[in-house]
Amino acid sequence: MKLALRLQLYALLLVAAFVIAVRIKLDVSWSDLAIPAVTTAMLALAFGWLIARSITEPIRELTAVTRDLAAGNLSTRPALLAVGEVRDLSTAVHRLAEQLGARMTALQAEDELLTALIESLNEGVVAVGNREQVLRINAAGRDLLRVTDAVPFPTARLPRLWQLQHAIDNALRGTTTDAAEVTLGDSTLSLTARPLEGGGAVLALFDLTRIRKLEMVRRDFVANVSHELRTPLTVIGGFAETLAEDDPAPESRRQFAATIRTHTERMQRIVDDLLDLSRLEAGRWMPEVSDIDMNVMVRETLASVEAAASDKPLALEIALEKDATRVVADRTAIRQILLNLLENAVRHTSSGSVTVFARREGAGVWVGVRDTGPGIGAEHLPRIFERFYRVDSGRARDSGGTGLGLAIVKHLVETHGGRLDAHSQVGKGTSIAAFFPDRPLDPNRNLVLEL
């Protein structure tokens, strides 16, 4: 029975007991007590209803508040209008709601901070629950594993790599997997899986693709340098041994000495080019730009290759447009760029012509060299600016090239904030040009280089 009805019943019982006691005390008839009894009963019912309402309404409110709190609505609060013990209970519920709200706010802030930290990592992070469900995965993890499913989702939706599934199974059983390499497509990943104390597991993924490519480049570089140095060293060692152990004729002695000198100079060029390339790649060289007269610069540079060109039916030509006779660049750098391009062209062109040209385009000038040589195949053209890359390695090495000239050209041009352009057609020739902006930009500092 509800509290209001019970209070009203108690009030009626009290009135009845009072009426009976009055009748016995005063010895009056029931008819004389009818009106006072009814009036008293009505007053008792009204009073009981008021008392019941003052108690039941706050209790109903507390019931609704506690239901809202249980449902997750932590903003609801009791009115604190009751009195006595009910007010104490309302105050306790109000305080509990405040504490729950503050705690949930703190938990949400911690969760947002944790999410931000996890999302900012370059490493992939994957949290797996006891039931083999992925509960959390950051953006890096999605990119590395190529996953688009919304969490939670079963681990079976992850890439079907036995190393990955094996690591997850072991971690859920309490066994750690440390730095296992996993290959996914063209990517190489380092996988670590650790069990969690409360159950589940966490996976960490690190992309090793760039590191492995750098290791391959390093190995290739060491192999190429070793190969480039082994040939002249072998020749020098052979002729030096002959001079030391035998007694050749004076003419042969001079020939041996000349050969040794030639290969020594070749090794010196390789070492010098490697040092130059190392400084450029490390950013330890900065161009000192000035306004350069290209008519003078081109003629000075052509003079350095005239001797090599004179041995062939080869014409050295100049084609500078009127508005492209001045370039803003480092004088030493542009001389080295032109010299490397000219030496390559003269070295590989047996007849025809080698032309130094310049033309203006927008806010800069293109400076380049074109020849009528054998040309370069389309499959080789994108790689000619790599270190030690040769289209015909045997021919280039025999003609004295180090395989580093175009790599140096590329870095020198880019240090000016410029770019390179190469065109070639097999059997017709090659054209390589460098763009020098009128206001050179340092790519490392994003600053304009001043004259």
How does pLDDT run across 282-325, given as a tens digit for each residue?
777 788 888 999 999 999 999 988 988 888 899 999 999 999 99
Predicted confidence band at 396 (pLDDT cuts at 50, 70, 90)?
very low
Q: Which of 172, 440, 189, 242 lies closest to 329, judged by CA?
A: 440
Count how many domains the chain has.
4
DSSP letter (8 states) at residue 89: H
- Tell me if 342 sits within 8 A of 401, measured CB to CB: no
Provide the pLDDT confidence category of residue 253 given band limits of 50, 70 and 90: confident
Percent of the chain exceeding pLDDT 70 equals 79
By the 8 A CB rule, do 406 and 347 touch? no
| Residue 262: domain span | 212-280
**Is residue 291 domain-shared with residue 383, that is, in the same domain?**
yes
Angle of helix 331-348 relative to helix 405-415, nearest 10 degrees? Answer: 150
- How big is the chain, counted in residues? 451
- Indicate if 88 and 226 belong to the same structural domain: no
Q: Is residue 248 part of a domain?
A: yes
- The domain that holds 426 is classified in CATH as 3.30.565.10
Q: Terminus-to-terminus CA distance in the chain, angstroms?
A: 99
Question: Which DSSP string do the residues of 17-40 spell out, in sequence order?
Answer: HHHHHHHHHHT--HHHHHHHHHHH
Neighbours of 194 (CB within 10 A): 15
**Final residue before a domain boundary, out of 48, 76, 107:** 107
Residue 286 Cα to chain centre, angstroms: 28
Q: At 210, is the pLDDT very low, low, confident or very high (cuts 50, 70, 90)? A: confident
- Are residue 7 and residue 72 in the same domain, yes or no? yes
pLDDT in the model for residue 38: 60
Judge whether residue 259 has pLDDT over 70.
yes
State residue 179's pLDDT score. 83
Are residues 102 and 132 both part of a single domain? Answer: no
Please report whether residue 116 resides in a domain. no
Residue 263 and residue 216 share a domain: yes
CB atoms within 10 A of CB 343: 19
With 50 as the cut, is the pLDDT of residue 449 above it? Answer: no
Residues 333 and 415 in one domain: yes
Task: Give residue-wise pLDDT tens across range 321-357.
Answer: 999 999 999 898 899 899 989 988 998 898 999 999 9
Token digits of residue 316: 């050295």
Distance CA 163, CA 243 (A): 61
pLDDT at 220: 73
How large is the C-alpha radius of gyration of the chain? 46
Domain boundary among 107, 130, 155: 107
In this prediction, residue 297 carries a pLDDT of 92
In the chain, pLDDT over 90 holds for what percent of residues? 17
CATH number at residue 136: 3.30.450.20
Q: What is the mean pLDDT of the chain?
A: 79
Alpha-carbon distance of 83 to 54, in angstroms, equals 8
